[in-house]
Structure 1
Amino acid sequence: MVSPLETVARNHGAIVVERHGRRVPASFGSTAAEEAVCQASVGMSDRSDRDTFELRGDPVAIETALTELGPLVWASFIGADRALVRCEAETSPEVSDVLEHYGDVAAQIRTAAYAVIGLVGPRASELLNEVDLTPSGLIIREGRDSFEIVLPADHGPQLWDFLIEAGKPFDLACVGHDALDRLAASRRTGRSA
């Protein structure tokens, strides 16, 4: 699967590789420097490596399903009876299995319909407070200093370029999956990267 952000990421120096059947930026030149950016300011990444589900139906049933899915997903309502759900590609079958048990919830995998830009770092929230993403961008909080901006695929490259400029005062830099993987590993082991 090719990301809607691949060309714009390459234009900013991405080295693109295939992982788990998806093409992702491995790095933008220096994994160590990209990791440092995520720890000190804000790193921006292409998160097309993950799956996106659209849920429609009874809001209480959606909430119940999201509670059952717990740490497998992060989500946001986009209407009274609609939510976007994000998960790692390898947990997508498990997420699908859980959602099948909810008759009041219609779930569709819509990964290809969206571009997803990740923002990671202590200044990510500050940057998001300064930019206006309406009407097309939905912000989903993944963790304390980690966010995803989900938007229609064809708007992704424009938002990437916009964030490059808007992020300059926040020391934003593009980061690849090698740095993100190292950060995730250091979080799991409880040590500083």
Structure 2
Amino acid sequence: MAERHGRRVPAHFGSIGAEEAVCQKSVGMADRSDRETYELRGDPTAVETALTELGPLVWASFIGADRALVRCEAESSPEVSDVLEHYPDISAHVRTSAYAAIGLIGPRASDLLNEVDLTPSGLIVREGRDAFEILLPADHGAELWNFLVESGEPFDLACVGHDALDRLAASRRIASD
């Protein structure tokens, strides 16, 4: 276990290199409680405009015409809050503790998500190509984790820790430079 942004998360599940490889070849599953979750409510046009302004700082999914869940890295949270303060037609609340967040990373993540039924409470937020987060009420997190471990077997799913996620993020940054 390791502390990330004041929260305890799995550092690794045995082999950082193997976990990194899983995310590149099949699907890795990670606890993403290290990130912040905001709930936005208000005028739909204002919500959409705010999300556009926030751009690459956040990942978002509408859960109603006037309501969206927004995810961001913990270190981006002050900047996200600052932007949202400029929208009087939106109420924005940090709801991190209300949701469990499980990440699925890898080329087979989309295939797995197409096979599992997350209704009624699961919400999928696309973080990027081959990277998704599933958000659901916090008290269902352990149940979903176990369900995905079992359902992900045919997709070669493996649990990954934050050390592997950090290495993957660093290699993506280097590749984009």
Q: Offset of 1:184 from its aligned partner?
A: 0.4
Residue equivalent to 1:81: 66
Q: Offset of 1:45 from its aligned partner?
A: 0.2
Q: Offset of 1:92 from its aligned partner?
A: 0.2
CA–CA separation in structure 2 for the residues paired with 1:24 and 1:97: 27
CA–CA separation in structure 2 for the residues paired with 1:87 and 1:17: 19
Matched, 1:157 2:142: yes
Matched, 1:129 2:84: no
Secondary structure class of the residue paired with 2:10? strand
CA–CA separation in structure 1 for the residues paired with 2:4 and 2:75: 11
Equivalent position to 1:99, from 84, 87, 93: 84
CA–CA separation in structure 1 for the residues paired with 2:169 and 2:4: 16
Residue equivalent to 1:3: none
Q: Offset of 1:19 from its aligned partner?
A: 2.2
Amino acid aligned to 1:57: G
CA–CA separation in structure 2 for the residues paired with 1:56 and 1:28: 38
Amino acid aligned to 1:122: P
CA–CA separation in structure 2 for the residues paired with 1:154 and 1:70: 30
Residue equivalent to 1:65: 50
Matched, 1:26 2:11: yes
- Structure 1 unaligned segments of length 5 or more: list them: 1-15
The ranges of structure 1 where at least 4 consecutive aligned residues each deviate by more than 6 angstroms after the TM superposition are none
- Aligned-residue sequence identity (percent) comes to 81
CA–CA separation in structure 2 for the residues paired with 1:183 and 1:150: 22
**What RMSD, in angstroms, separates the aligned Cα atoms of the two structures?**
0.8
Residue equivalent to 1:173: 158
Q: Offset of 1:17 from its aligned partner?
A: 1.4
TM-score normalized by the length of structure 2? 0.98
CA–CA separation in structure 2 for the residues paired with 1:20 and 1:59: 31
Task: Give CA-to-partner distance per residue, 1:67-108, whole Å, 9 cap, x none.
Answer: 000000000000111100000000001000000000000000
